[in-house]
Amino acid sequence: MSCLPCCGSREEEEEETKGGSGGGGKGGGDLKKEASGDASSRRVSRIGSDKSKSRGGSDSNKEGSVRKDGSNTHIAAQTFTFRELAAATKNFREDCLLGEGGFGRVYKGHLENGQVVAVKQLDRNGLQGNREFLVEVLMLSLLHHPNLVNLIGYCADGDQRLLVYEFMPLGSLEGHLHDVPPDKEPLDWNTRMKIAAGAAKGLEYLHDKANPPVIYRDFKSSNILLGEGYHPKLSDFGLAKLGPVGDKTHVSTRVMGTYGYCAPEYAMTGQLTVKSDVYSFGVVFLELITGRKAIDNTRPTGEQNLVAWARPLFKDRRKFAKMADPLLQGHFPMRGLYQALAVAAMCLQEQAATRPLIGDVVTALSYLASQTYDPNAHNNRTGPSTPRARSHHRTISGQSDNSHYTVNSPSQNSPDVRGSPLRMERARDATRNVNRQRTLAETKENWRERKRGSAPGSFDSTDE
C-alpha cells in the first residue's frame, strides 16, 4: 500500500515550527503542554538530542513521569541504549524480523528481564523523521487505553531512533484479512465484529477522552495489532495530530497518510477533523466485512478501489450478501450483515458533516459484537440468499398512505399476483425502500436504548 507524500514530513516540521515560542511546533509544542508541568515537558523534549547515556551506571533509565489527561496517573517511559536493543534482537537478525514498512523494520526481541517486545528500528533514510519519532513517543507516553498499543521505551543513541512496544503475538489485522494462506483459519464473523468494536473504542478514546482531542490520521488495517483473543490495539502514532479546540472546526496540515484510507475532503483540502478518522475507520470496517483490500490493483477495473466498488452496492439491498467475504463461506447473520454495511456506509459518506461521531459508531458496533452468531442455530439465515429470496409473505408499511399491504418475495418464479409488471415493480421498489429504512431504524433504536442515560449524541444529532 503506497503512502501519500510522507517524505514531506521534514518540510511540515519546518512549517509548523515557524513562529512557535522556543521552537516548539504545533504538534510537539501542544503535546508538551499536555505533560504535567514544564519540567516534564523539558524532560520529554530531550529525546531529539538524547544520547541515552545511563545515569548512575545503569544501562537504561526511566523517563520523568507525566500525567495523562489531567489525572494523577504517572506514566514512565524507559530509555534504552542501542547496544541493549541490538542484544535483545540478536543484532537485528533476519529470523527476528516481524515486518517492514515505509518507516523501517520491526523485530521481535527479548529484554534482559525476559520481557518479549517489538522493536521498531526507524530507517534513517526512510519516511519517518525526528518529528514523527518525537510525536509517537509523546503520544504513547501520555495516552493509555486498552485499545492502544503500549510503548515500553525508546532509544535515541546518536542518529539511531528505535521504539520499543509490547509484543502483539497475532500480528496485524491486515495479515488475517488479505492473502490468507490455505492452512490458516480465516477470521469468523464474531471475531471481525469484536475487532471492529475494539478498534473503534481506541479511536473514541483519542477523539472524546483525550484533551485536546487527537486525530489518528493513519487508521488502516496494518496499524491494528492483535493480541491474545484477537484483542485489537492501535499502533503507529507518528502521524497523529492534535485536533481543533475552541471554536475551530478543523486543523489545516499537509496531506499525509495512506492512499485508499484518506477522507476525500482531507485529501483535497488538507483540512483535518475527527470525521477524517471516521472515514478511514469505515474503509477498514468494509475490509473486515468484504475481505477486500482498500486498494487492490490485481482486481478488474472498477473493483480496484474498495469504496468506489462498494458505493453503488450500498444502494441495492439484494447485493448485500454478495459483498460478504467469501472466506466466511456464508457463515454470518444476514441481519447483522445488513446492519454492519449500514454502519460502514454512514462512515463513508462523502460529506464529513453527515458521518457519525465515533462514539455512535462504538455504540452500534458494541451492539453488533454482543449479538454472538451461532452458525448451527442460524443455518436457515445464511448463505448467498437474502431475505428477499424467502418464499413467505411479508407485511410492510406503505410510505405514501400509511396503509399496510402484503407482497410476495420477488423470486424469479413468483407469479405476478398483482397483475401488471408496472405495479409489481412499484411494489418491489417500495419493499426495497421500506426494508432498508427498517434495518436502519432497528439499528438506531438499539443504539438509542443502549445510550439512554449516557452523554448525548447519535446519528440523528444535529450538532455535527
Tell the residue number behind the cell numbers 490493483, with chain if given. 297
Lowest-confidence range among 262-266, 330-334, 374-378, 459-463? 459-463
How is residue 260 written as a grid cell?
485508499
Residue 130 has pLDDT above 50, yes or no: yes
Provide the pLDDT for residue 377: 75
Question: Do 82 and 53 meet the contact criterion of CB atoms below 8 Å apart?
Answer: no
Question: Do 199 and 224 meet the contact criterion of CB atoms below 8 Å apart?
Answer: yes
* Torsion over CA: 90, 233, 151, 271 (sign): positive
Residue 47 has pLDDT above 80, yes or no: no
**Residues in Cβ contact with 411 at an 8 Å cutoff, skipping those fewer than 6 apart:** 389, 391
Provide the pLDDT for residue 285: 98
* One-letter amino acid for residue 335 of the chain: R
pLDDT 10s digits, 49-79: 343 343 333 444 544 333 344 343 445 678 9
pLDDT 10s digits, 310-358: 999 999 889 999 999 999 999 999 999 999 999 999 999 999 999 999 9
Whole-structure pTM value: 0.69
**Mean pLDDT, residues 200-212:** 94
Question: What proportion of the chain, given as a percentage, has pLDDT over 70?
Answer: 64
Question: What proportion of the chain, given as a percentage, has pLDDT over 90?
Answer: 46
Residue 143 has pLDDT above 50, yes or no: yes
Confidence of residue 21 (pLDDT cuts 50, 70, 90): very low
**Mean pLDDT, residues 134-163:** 90
Task: Tell whether 62 is in a known binding site.
Answer: no
Measured distance CA(7)–CA(402) in Å, rounded: 59
The reply to whether omega before 182 is within 30° of 0 (cis) is no
Question: Do 79 and 154 meet the contact criterion of CB atoms below 8 Å apart?
Answer: yes
Establish whether 218 is a catalytic residue.
yes
Lowest-confidence range among 161-170, 364-373, 376-385? 376-385
Provide the pLDDT for residue 432: 58
Catalytic, out of 218, 236, 277, 360? 218
CA-closest candidate to residue 279, choices 351, 207, 176, 174: 351
- Ordered structural domains, the chain, with CATH: 6-166 (3.30.200.20), 173-381 (1.10.510.10)
More confident residue, 101 or 78: 78
From the CB of residue 155, how many other CB atoms can be counted at a distance below 10 Å?
Answer: 27
CA-closest candidate to residue 115, choices 45, 167, 58: 167
Confidence of residue 81 (pLDDT cuts 50, 70, 90): very high
